[in-house]
Amino acid sequence: MADEEGFLHSCEEARRTAFSFNDPLVVHHYDSVTGDAEVMVAGGGLRGRETLSRLFDKEAKRFRVRTREDGKEVVKPESVRVLSLGRDGRIKYSRVNGLIRRKTKKQIYSIKSCLCEVKVTADHCLISLVNDKVRAVKPSKAGFIAMPRNYPDSGHNPVIDLIENNLVARHKQIEYRGKKLYYIPNKKIRRKLESRLKFDEKLMCFFGLWIADGCFMHFPGREGIRLSCYDHPATKSVIDEIFSVFGATPVVTDEGITAVVCNKTLYNLMKYLGFIDGSDKKLIPGWIFGTRKKLIAAFLRGYFSGDGTVSKGDVNATTYSRLLAKEIVSLLLFFGVRAKVRKESTGHKISINSIAQKKIFLEEIGFLQNEKNSKVIAAGPGRSNYPEYVPISEKLLGAIRKYLPKNMRCQARRILRSGTHPTRAFLTKALETVPNKLKKTIKEILTPDVYWEPFALTRLPKKLQYVYDIETEEGNFICENIVLKNSDGLSSGALVAGAFIKEGKKFRRECIKKLDDLAIERYAKEKETIFVDLGGGNKRVNELKDVLIIDHHQTTGIEKPQANPMLHGIDGGDELSAAGTAYCVFRVHPDLAIVGAMGDMQSPLRGMNRWVLERGVESGEVKVEDDLRFYGRYCRPLVQFLAYCDDPYLPGISYREDKAAELLNDAGIKTETGGKMRVYADLSVEEKRTLISAIARMLINANQLKKAEELIGESCIFPKRPHNEAFEANEFSTMLNACGRHSQPDVGVRVCLGEEKAYDEARVLLQLHRRMLREGISYATSHVQDLGAFYFLDGRNIIDEGIVGTVCGMALQQRWAKPIIGISSGENETVKISGRAPRALVNAGMNLGDLMTKSTAAVGGVGGGHRIAAGASIPKDRLNEFLVFSGGYISEKCRHDALR
């Protein structure tokens, strides 16, 4: 039974607690690295490896740079992703929420291992293994750094237009079988070539050979290429084929070792692609890191075939360029090959020496020369200077040792006596015999797909310089092959911020997407923290210092003070949102509480939401209107207002702008006046009556009498806000949703707090959001499949994963009485799942959150959510199993509740 009085009393206590805090950090739902450090980038027109300074400068030209109160410059890019360590322990591309730059004279430290180096400020955290837990710690507290074991395949196949980029010296364009080709003039041959050059394995192998043993000829009028690895049939074959493609015939010198061509087109292409000659200056152009795995393998095959040797069972290559050696090591990580680099008198020597690593090398990359491959196979295991140690504590190893078989106990004793660490293989084997408690600890340590590397920490001279940071969804990013931590429910967070501003109290605010263990570690040093719209579901908040939780989700085992309707018999999923809970605590901004309820699909308002609405009306900040229930009464032009209405679905009108315009014309309603497009709110009372009558007749003719009766309903407007998208509750909610969906939560908070400049930024996001929704809905109307127990929408490679749930919700409102499950392409070989259910089914017992939790437990992945809306992420090869499980679950639920 609901205890509203008890809940409001707990809210009053929460308010007193909040205002007793001195400068708390308000965390609500949703330091730095030098600019020469490189990250792996994808999306936003970028792909490959970029330095942080170049990445910031490129995005600053495309998007506005905003200076925050703390003096940091921030760019919010669209669709840019960088590699990071996911919550599931896998390396993945994570969306960039912000690029940050600032000038500082702070102390800079070099973090250097034999594989990589990055320079950071003293307070920038990195991911390490400390006291047998994966944590974000300062470099001075870390003994090891986390390095990726394997980089994901981008799947990208580069194509370059030689004509558009002005790379062809002389040519004659022709049409050949519908393709644009050109002739390359040559004394001996007349070669045809497509203007759009596709990068294949042969071309990438050629590039690798050139990096190993090639250079440019820069003589004016005789520009060309030299390669000094022409003396073997396998390498000669590749070189000849690529020269032939560009209409070139090589001249052979140096007793058959070197092939020379004067070819301006090939010269121009390689210079354009970023190839640099000079044995000590060579490096790998950044775009190569963004190509698909097979092309990277071909490039490495060429490089090792040109520069590589096999000695005592090891695969080796030597270069004078320190940067090139570092980048070869990074490319090998795409295959899980862990190479070692050491400085010798002849240069920087790259070595692959363990049997497992050499096996991968031969299977995935290999040499062009069969005799070199045979030498690796015949050499046997070879040496391994790089065992995969896991730096657990002596205490944990001692506890594990008790449960090991005799031979492993002896091995553990030797490890303890020598002061070294066990290997990953040793700990994996130990999982078979240790009890569940230790098994859980070991699994948590082994879950991240990283190597643990010792490193040297060196203090560098102080100087004034730019340093950079990246805000990502995962809360970390991989920079120079090292996992670093980045240092930096919208309406609810804004409401709490507004309350502190009104009281003149100091506070700090931060928006995060999830409260996971890494986030908990991050907040461990905060003296006072207020969690809004999260915190009630993670028991580790009990480990933090002074904490207040304002939440509306299910909660158990939380010992910290908490204002949560669920603790008082009030349904936080249907009767009160997080923003509504925050209003009950602080009694400010009831309009934001209403917006939060709309965003949480809690309309029509009932229960405590109704109580909040009444308080808002009394204060004059909320006004209730009875009018047409369509979305966009104050912001959508009339044609779009009708054409993109989905609740109710208008037969023959919805998603048809031409038919919507025809309806308005027949009703005698002008769509614009004085060159300005009219919105519904501009219509006179008579015009509104005419339009509503026309829509009602259309629904009645389509046998949708109930929908016709529900055309007029309750809506909320906010008289004290400007007459724009923030004036009406549903429109305001959609704008905030657009900010959140496109990873710009701070823009949404600034809109809530009335910052005028933020509206322009939010409108850009809203336009993008609407366009994507329109395209998604248009696709859904003709592609939804009936799978019996539920409807299914396959939106892979069509609908963005951030909006597939919204599209499903809109599609569900058209005419269906069963749940709908939609899918879209996820990252790292996953499928994003979103489900929506009609409220009638939910009221009768349907629980999609339970479905997602149980189905992912059965097929793998993670999932959960509310009864009416839920989501999951699963491996893409388990999709059929998921659909079969879902069909069985929904059918059984329907039979059990006699719903069908």
What was the pLDDT predicted at 871? 82
Q: Is residue 442 part of a domain?
A: yes
What was the pLDDT predicted at 371? 92
What was the pLDDT predicted at 175? 44
Q: Is residue 585 part of a domain?
A: no
How many distinct structural domains can be found in the chain?
4
Residue partners of 178: CB distance under 8 A and separation at least 6: none
pLDDT exceeds cutoff 90 at 201:
yes
Task: Based on the fold, state whether residues 416 and 360 are members of the same structural domain.
Answer: no
Q: CATH code at 795? A: 3.10.310.40
What was the pLDDT predicted at 711? 84
* Residue 671 near residue 691, CB atoms below 8 Å: no
CB burial of residue 705 (10 Å; 0-12, 13-18, 19+): exposed
Task: Based on the fold, state whether residues 348 and 431 are members of the same structural domain.
Answer: no
Task: Based on the fold, state whether residues 252 and 268 are members of the same structural domain.
Answer: yes
Query: What's the mean pLDDT in 454-478?
Result: 83
Cis peptide before 381 (omega within 30 of 0): no
Task: Based on the fold, state whether residues 417 and 477 are members of the same structural domain.
Answer: no
CB burial of residue 801 (10 Å; 0-12, 13-18, 19+): buried
Q: CATH code at 90? A: 2.170.16.10
pLDDT exceeds cutoff 50 at 775:
yes
Q: Is residue 434 part of a domain?
A: yes
| Look-up of token digits 């996911």 | 86
Q: How many CB atoms lie within 10 A of CB 50?
A: 22
Q: What is the mean pLDDT of the chain?
A: 83
Task: Based on the fold, state whether residues 178 and 237 are members of the same structural domain.
Answer: yes
What does each C-alpha distance from 710 to 601, 648, 812 come to in angstroms? 18, 9, 17
pLDDT exceeds cutoff 80 at 490:
no
**Nearest partner of 752 among 595, 551, 581, judged by Cα:** 595
Residue partners of 876: CB distance under 8 A and separation at least 6: 826, 829, 830, 831
What is the extent of the structural domain holding 170? 163-378
What was the pLDDT predicted at 188? 45
What was the pLDDT predicted at 471? 81
Q: Is residue 252 part of a domain?
A: yes
| Spatial separation of the C-alpha atoms in residues 218 and 216, rounded to whole Å | 6
Q: CATH code at 326? A: 3.10.28.10
Question: Which two three-digit tokens encode residue 382?
Answer: 């070879």
pLDDT exceeds cutoff 50 at 177:
no
Task: Based on the fold, state whether residues 466 and 408 are members of the same structural domain.
Answer: no
How confident is the model over 322-365, as pLDDT tens digits? 889 989 998 999 998 988 888 888 789 999 888 888 889 999 99
How confident is the model over 576-600, as pLDDT tens digits? 988 899 999 999 999 999 988 887 7
Task: Based on the fold, state whether residues 877 and 816 are members of the same structural domain.
Answer: yes
Question: Which two three-digit tokens encode residue 664?
Answer: 């308005």
What is this structure's pTM? 0.53
Report residue 870's pLDDT band, with 50, 70 and 90 as the boundaries.
confident
Report residue 900's pLDDT band, with 50, 70 and 90 as the boundaries.
very low
Task: Based on the fold, state whether residues 473 and 343 are members of the same structural domain.
Answer: no
Per DSSP (E only), the strands in 551-593 are 562-563
**Nearest partner of 827 among 92, 3, 88, judged by Cα:** 92
pLDDT exceeds cutoff 90 at 211:
yes
Task: Based on the fold, state whether residues 444 and 483 are members of the same structural domain.
Answer: no
What percentage of the chain reaches a pLDDT higher than 90?
24
What was the pLDDT predicted at 899? 44
Q: Is residue 141 part of a domain?
A: no
What was the pLDDT predicted at 1? 57
Residue partners of 279: CB distance under 8 A and separation at least 6: 319, 320, 321
Query: What's the mean pLDDT in 715-736?
Result: 87
Please name the amino acid found at residue 106.
Answer: K
Per DSSP (E only), the strands in 149-302 are 159-161, 172-176, 179-184, 191-194, 196-198, 214-217, 224-227, 251-253, 258-262
What was the pLDDT predicted at 897? 57
Query: What's the mean pLDDT in 148-163?
Result: 85
What was the pLDDT predicted at 214? 93
How confident is the model over 544-569, as pLDDT tens digits? 889 899 988 767 788 889 999 988 98
Q: Is residue 716 within a helix (H) or strand (E), and if so which, with residue range?
A: strand 712-717
Please name the amino acid found at residue 331.
Answer: L
Give CA torsion, residues 318, 320, 324, 328, to 10 deg: 10
Question: Which two three-digit tokens encode residue 409?
Answer: 């106990």
Q: Is residue 62 part of a domain?
A: yes
The string of DSSP codes covering 276-325 is --STTT----GGGGGS-HHHHHHHHHHHHHHHEEEETTEEEEEES-HHHH
What was the pLDDT predicted at 200? 93
How confident is the model over 287-313, as pLDDT tens digits? 998 899 999 999 999 999 999 999 887
What percentage of the chain reaches a pLDDT higher than 70?
89
Task: Based on the fold, state whether residues 350 and 371 are members of the same structural domain.
Answer: yes
Q: Is residue 436 part of a domain?
A: yes
Task: Based on the fold, state whether residues 366 and 417 are members of the same structural domain.
Answer: no
pLDDT exceeds cutoff 60 at 863:
yes
Q: Is residue 718 part of a domain?
A: no
Task: Based on the fold, state whether residues 219 and 286 are members of the same structural domain.
Answer: yes
pLDDT exceeds cutoff 50 at 487:
no
pLDDT exceeds cutoff 70 at 184:
no
* Residue 306 near residue 229, CB atoms below 8 Å: yes
